[in-house]
A and B are shown apart, each in its own frame.
Chain A
Amino acid sequence: MSAALPPDGAILSVDGLGVTTRDRDLLDNISIDFSARSLTAVVGPSGCGKTTFVRSLNRMTELTPGLRIRGTVRYLGQDIYAKGVNPVVVRRRMGMVFQRPTVFPMSIFENAAFGLRIVRADDGEVDRAVAEALQRAGLWDEVKDELDRPALALSGGQQQRLCIARALAVRPRVLLLDEPTSALDPGATQRVEATLQRLKEDIVLVLVTHNVGQAARLSDRIAFLHSGRLVEVGATADILERPREKLTEQFITGRYE
């Protein structure tokens, strides 16, 4: 695919997205655009649909049987749910990082190289891309001399940054992060946040978090979800200081019931 990056346009454009189980809506009519070089924090109370939302952006929702998806999600103008689109390819262009570190029982190097190995990249390219991804993930200096060590021997925070590196190695334009620091201690959280701070200069980051403080520190924009609806989206400072909706205000001030 050779679609050029639109200078100011949206990389990812969600229109009327709905996800339903047999008897209820998990997400209802969500529309939001994500433009290049931005970090959008998706916040909201537990069960509001944050996770379902990011998982719908790279077609991970369809791994859960029984979910129906409506609306469109356009990646560089192409509907990822259109007929003929291969979900595997969608997931290769939009990396994902999960709550808990999910390293595979392989070496550090092979973990970072995973996405390249499955597209059969040649060895020279793999070497270059792995080094670059580990640098971008802020892990290179800690592991450059022990790339052959098992990744499971790393600390939780290092494992999470390795997962970020694994997602970055295939040079995605979008990185989806589902509460990436909720299983980490404060020090490790800080290092992951520093990594995200740098990454948002290059690519689109969509960060699901239940931590308003984290959203305040990192994001350009906050999207507040409640009961599967997008209540409000706006610049981080505006949402934090002048929320338009009562629900948003209650949530960010911690008075949410």
Chain B
Amino acid sequence: MATATLPGNLPVVDDLRRDRTGHVRGRTIADRLVGWLLPLLYLVAIVPILDLVYWVGRAALPTFTVAVITTDPSGAGGGLYAPLVGSLTILLFATGFSLLFGFFGGLATAEYLAERVAGVIRITANVMAGTPAIIVGLFGYIAFVSYFGWGFSLAAASVTLGVFMTPYVFRATDIAYASVPPHIREAAVGSGARPLQYLMKVATPIALPQVLSGVFLAMAIGVGETAPLYLTTTTVALPPLGFFQPVSALSLYIWSDYQTGFILPIAIHRAFQAAFLLLVIVIGLNVLVRIVASRSRRRLEGLYQ
């Protein structure tokens, strides 16, 4: 091999099989190891999920009939119609609430507020997102059930769950609008777009898919939450009758049927049926996220270059 004849003090190694440190195979072995390790880590992530779906499905499906989603609970048996409708109703109103504060809050933070104010709001939202659900539930109990006098009710449960979901929607909206490429904003403003026109015609079409993904994820997180509902409503066997009537939810039935199961083992079946229904909803919402994301990726390809 040629020896160093180039200026400078560093050794020049012209042997192309050696790397700079003079090792021949060191780097490639490390590279290969990582190449094997990554798929392995992927398996580590995916196996528990498949395992979970398998065991919940195995426990729920043998007793799962159409009647499970068409009849109301009765005693330790019956179906899950009331909690299913209850969960979806709570989710609907909670999502509405979280959109009202999360979406518009995120939009204001990303687009309009001074950087210092925006920073404070972002920290607050992060703290909110990290608040244990049971504390949000306790807040809901004190504020809505007790202080506002709504009682254990659809209204109290929805607003409490909405409070819980708000930081997720907020964060998705904030990031979505803040990540619209600055040169796109310049071009819109440079074309004479007023701020509102920029927002409606340029920024929102770009940001909306990401916002939607965030909302669906917040829904997937929210629909399975138990603690905010446990302290703001109570298990009833009937679908919601009004805003200020108690409403049932799938997650509450999992909890109460599991407890009943210690005395009355048959009750555990319904817990697993409720768990299975929840899993289907959560997986469905996640599939929606993927669809929205991949569609928007195709539409926006090339925008961020």
Contact = CB atoms under 8 A, between A and B. Distances in A.
A175 B197 CA distance: 22
Contacts, number: 67
Contacts of B303: 105, 152
Interface residues of A, number: 27
B190 interface: yes
Contacts of B206: 105
Interface of B: 183-184, 186-194, 197, 201-202, 205-206, 299-303, 305
Given A95-B191, A118-B194, A104 B302 contact: no
Contact of A102 (B183, B193, B194, B299): B183
Contacts of B192: 88-89, 91-92, 115, 118-119, 170
Given A91-B191, A92-B192, A102 B184 contact: yes
A225 to B, nearest CB: 21
Interface string A115-152: 10111000000000000000000000000000000101
B190 A58 contact: yes
Nearest to B190: A96
Nearest to B192: A92
A91 B299 CA distance: 28
A150 B205 CA distance: 13
Contacts of B301: 152
Contacts of B202: 104
A114 B187 CA distance: 11
The B contact surface, by secondary structure, is helix
B193 A118 contact: yes
A125 to B, nearest CB: 16
A60 B189 CA distance: 8
Given A114-B201, A117-B201, A118-B193, A150 B188 contact: no
A203 interface: no
Nearest to A92: B192
A235 interface: no
B186 A60 contact: yes
A115 B183 CA distance: 16
17 contacts: A88-B193, A89-B192, A91-B191, A95-B190, A98-B187, A98-B190, A105-B206, A105-B299, A114-B191, A114-B193, A115-B191, A118-B191, A118-B197, A119-B192, A153-B302, A163-B187, A166-B191
A100 interface: yes
B114 to A, nearest CB: 9
Contacts of A1: none
Contacts of B299: 105, 150, 152
A167 interface: yes
A106 interface: yes
Nearest to B198: A118
Nearest to A115: B191
Given A92-B191, A95-B191, A118-B201, 13 more contacts: A58-B190, A60-B189, A88-B194, A92-B192, A100-B305, A102-B186, A104-B188, A105-B300, A114-B188, A117-B201, A152-B299, A152-B300, A152-B301
Contacts of B197: 118
A82 interface: no
Contacts of A118: 191-194, 197, 201
A98 B186 contact: yes
A63 interface: yes
A91 B190 contact: yes
A37 to B, nearest CB: 23
A23 to B, nearest CB: 20
A191 B192 CA distance: 26
A63 B189 contact: yes
Contacts of A88: 192-194
Q: Which of A105, A115, A153 has the most CB of B within 10 A?
A: A105
Contacts of B189: 60, 63, 91
A60 B192 CA distance: 10
A114 B192 CA distance: 10
A170 B197 CA distance: 16
